[in-house]
Structure 1
Amino acid sequence: MRGKTDNGRRWYQEVDPELAYTLVRESAAVVVNRHTIRRIYGNKEFKRMILARDNNTCYFCGQFGDTIDHLLPRSKGGHTTPVNCVCACNECNQSKANTDLDEFLLAFE
């Protein structure tokens, strides 16, 4: 996989085919050729895109949100893709931490 950092420096990282497939399927990367995929968003750009998509509204409580949270935590196999990330307020993001979504929503009710 290839990409650029937020300050424009290029980077390269080998990823397994299953991860590459997930990143492309969930619109986080595009296929360049049979050996290369390229990330679509830099970190800051990705965060801005998720916040704009969700209208800065916390997915969990509906209040103003300015952070992004992974529905399936990265520590449990989740990836940073538009499908797996949502806008969250700081309080919900900190409360959820690496809890599974269903478990968090049950405790949230």
Structure 2
Amino acid sequence: MIRLRGRTDKGRRWQQEIEFDLAVTLVREHMAVVVNPFTIRRLYTNKAFRQYILKRDNYTCFFCGEYGDTIDHLLPKAKGGHTTPVNCVCACNLCNQSKADRWLDDFMQDDAL
């Protein structure tokens, strides 16, 4: 087990124990940094992460190119995806709701019809 530390949107500190494989994923996908061999630190609060993704993607929906103000997981959380910069993109509300927890390829193929 690895200790994950972070802060809430209001600045309160928190920590939890997570599996080693998840810790590796969070560090590899730029959501956390290694503090020591037993601890990683989350880089973003929830609010800061949302703002980072929206600004990174210039408030443009990854799927349709229109204005976007929501965050969507390319690999849905329900299918094992994580909330990391590599797995999250800006999406408009319509695309986000339409994609739901479908695989990216299935959504893009259905959307093209």
TM-score band (shorter)?
A: over 0.9
Aligned equivalent of 1:9, options 2, 9, 12: 12
Q: Secondary structure at the match of 2:17?
A: coil
Shift of 1:79: 0.2
Partner of 1:43: 46
What's the TM-score, normalizing by structure 1?
0.99
Identity %: 67
Aligned length: 109
Shift of 1:45: 0.3
* Superposition CA RMSD, Å: 0.4
| Structure 1 residue 69 corresponds to structure 2 residue 72 | yes
Which consecutive aligned stretches of 4+ in structure 1 deviate over 4 angstroms post-superposition? none
> Which runs of 5 or more residues in structure 1 are unaligned?
none
| Structure 1 residue 86 corresponds to structure 2 residue 95 | no
1 or 2, which has the higher strand percentage? 2
Distance in 2, Cα, partners of 1:87 & 1:80: 13
> Which runs of 5 or more residues in structure 2 are unaligned?
none
